[in-house]
């Protein structure tokens, strides 16, 4: 899903002129976001697969989502009244 598909060329130009992309590289096992971190930017997965794990009070973790190449992390939280991750995200 490309969230920018419905934008005109002019709208995309305006949007992309106002943002400064940051490219980060992670390695297998790296934590990208921790559960409870505030979501203050949109992450786009250029390569690889990201695993979202949620921790429970009894000590076990559960995989709740797998994010694949060309998907986004944080899109639902960006404009939320409580923009905190409910899971940790690992490469």
pLDDT digits (tens, 9 = 90+) for 50-79: 999 999 999 999 999 999 998 889 888 877
CA 63 to chain CA centroid, Å, is 15
Q: What is the pTM of this model?
A: 0.74
Q: Cα(58)–Cα(69) distance, rounded to whole angstroms?
A: 32
Render pLDDT for 1-50 as a digit per residue (tens, 0 to 9): 567 778 788 887 877 777 777 788 999 999 999 999 999 888 889 899 99
DSSP lists the bridge partners of residue 37 as: none
Are the beta carbons of 51 and 63 closer than 8 angstroms? yes
């Amino acid at each position: 899903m490309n969230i920018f598909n419905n934008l005109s060329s002019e709208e995309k130009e305006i949007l992309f002129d106002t943002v400064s992309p940051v490219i980060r590289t992670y390695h297998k096992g790296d934590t990208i976001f921790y559960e409870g971190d505030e979501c203050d930017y949109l992450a786009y997965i250029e390569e690889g697969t990201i695993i979202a794990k949620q921790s429970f009070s009894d000590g076990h973790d559960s995989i709740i989502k797998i994010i694949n190449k060309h998907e986004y992390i944080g899109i639902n939280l960006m404009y939320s009244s409580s923009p905190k991750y409910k899971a940790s995200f690992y490469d």
